[in-house]
Structure 1
Amino acid sequence: MRIEIREDSVLIAGYVNAVERDSRALSSPQGSFVEQVRSGVWQNAINKNPDIAVLLNHDWNRKLGSTKDNLKLKEDNIGLYAEARIYDKDVIQKAKDKKLSGWSFGFKANKQSWGKSDAGTERRYLDDVDLFEVSILDDTRTPAYYGTSVEARDNEEICIEQRFVKDEIEIITADTKEEEKREDETELKLKLLNLELEL
């Protein structure tokens, strides 16, 4: 997760999930399993839902925006990539205090299949999902790699699952960006001087 702190906002970017790769071991009432999201599933989910929310800690009372305004989502050859510009003062402060811990996502599995991993563990393949939200998690959230809740949506009970991705956090402040810019300018000047010397 990359966090760029600006004066009035914070830009948070990174991978929410990697496709075609086993998750960590997940727990369920039926036992332990690993999970893979098939390639193309995320892009299909994005195409189906024009208004995917970005939340703090899966809390719908802490909606920070959506794909209609400040959240960009895409699937590439690595997986589901998210980029959100957040103007919420509390989230900006948490970023400054290094209290953001990673991404999570809430989804409903529409189509799945099962197999075995090389280690003999049950492997669940997600073939089609509905993506409702991606969440930025702070240090108050207990990292849970597997979670479900039953919610009523449009008079229908659906099982919502959540996944957490623990990530390396890189924080870039406005000062750091200025320093990088100066370093780039110095490097460019040195290259130009070397070219002049060669001529």
Structure 2
Amino acid sequence: MQIELREDSVLIKGYVNAVERDSRKISTPQGEFVEQIRSGTWKNAIEKREDIPALLNHDKNRKIGSTKDNLRLQEDNIGLYAELHTTDADVIEKAKNKKLNGWSFGFIKEKQSWGKADDGTERRYLDEIDLLEVSLLDDTRTPAYYGTSVESRDNEDVNIEQRYMKDVVEYVTVEGKNDDEMREDLENKLKLLKLELEI
């Protein structure tokens, strides 16, 4: 994740999730499994929702943006890429003090399938999801890759899941590079990281 501090705003860029790659092991009362989000899942999730909010720490009372305003989400060949340009004073202060940890997202699974990883661990594939929000996490939130809560909708209990991937936060200066050059730098770094993980 790259954080660019500007005069009265902050631009936060990076990947919320990589597609077709195993998560860390997720522990549930039913046992452990790994998870992969299939290619195309993010694209479909974004197209299905008219507006996707950006929250701070999954707090519905701390909306810091939305796809109608200052949040851009898109799926590319790596995964779900996000850019958030915010003037939220609290987020700017946290960025200045290097207290932002990474991206997270909340979703409801709509279509899934199961298989086995090479080591025999159960693997869940997410084929369709309802993307409820993306969140920026700060150092007050203890990152847990797997979280779930139950919400009642239309007299039916729905499991809302949250995911967080440990991220390396890079603070950069914006002088001398345009947005396309900075995005290309970030994509190249992420491709190298992906290759290292595959080896």
Q: Which deviations, in whole Å up to 9, do the C-alpha atoms of 1:49-94 show, x marking residues without a partner?
A: 0210100000000001110100000000100001011111011000
Q: Post-superposition shift, 1:179?
A: 6.5
- Where 1:44 maps in the other structure, the secondary structure is helix
- Where 2:3 maps in the other structure, the secondary structure is strand
Opposite residue 15 of structure 2, the aligned amino acid is: Y
Cα 1:86–1:119 shift into 2, 3 Å: same
- Where 1:178 maps in the other structure, the secondary structure is coil
Alignment-derived partner of residue 53 in structure 2: 53
Cα 1:166–1:111 shift into 2, 3 Å: same
Alignment-derived partner of residue 193 in structure 2: none
Alignment-derived partner of residue 128 in structure 1: 128
Alignment-derived partner of residue 94 in structure 1: 94
Q: How does 1:173-188 map to 2 (within 5 A)?
A: 176-178=173-175
Cα 1:10–1:150 shift into 2, 3 Å: same
> How far apart, CA to CA, are the structure 2 residues paired with 1:110 and 1:177?
40
Cα 1:179–1:75 shift into 2, 3 Å: closer
Q: Which deviations, in whole Å up to 9, do the C-alpha atoms of 1:133-173 show, x marking residues without a partner?
A: 0000001111101010012345543110000011111112x
Q: Percent identity?
A: 72
Alignment-derived partner of residue 37 in structure 1: 37
Alignment-derived partner of residue 138 in structure 2: 138
Instruction: Count how many residue pairs are aligned between Structure 1 and Structure 2.
Output: 178
- Scaled by the length of structure 1, the TM-score of the pair is 0.86
> How far apart, CA to CA, are the structure 1 residues paired with 2:98 and 2:57?
16
Alignment-derived partner of residue 28 in structure 2: 28
- Where 2:174 maps in the other structure, the secondary structure is helix
- Scaled by the length of structure 2, the TM-score of the pair is 0.86
Q: Post-superposition shift, 1:8?
A: 1.1
- Where 1:24 maps in the other structure, the secondary structure is coil
Opposite residue 24 of structure 1, the aligned amino acid is: R
> How far apart, CA to CA, are the structure 2 residues paired with 1:137 and 1:84?
13
Alignment-derived partner of residue 104 in structure 2: 104
* Runs of 4 or more consecutive aligned structure 1 residues displaced over 6 Å after TM superposition: none
Q: Post-superposition shift, 1:177?
A: 2.9
- The gaps in structure 2 that reach 5 residues or longer are 179-199
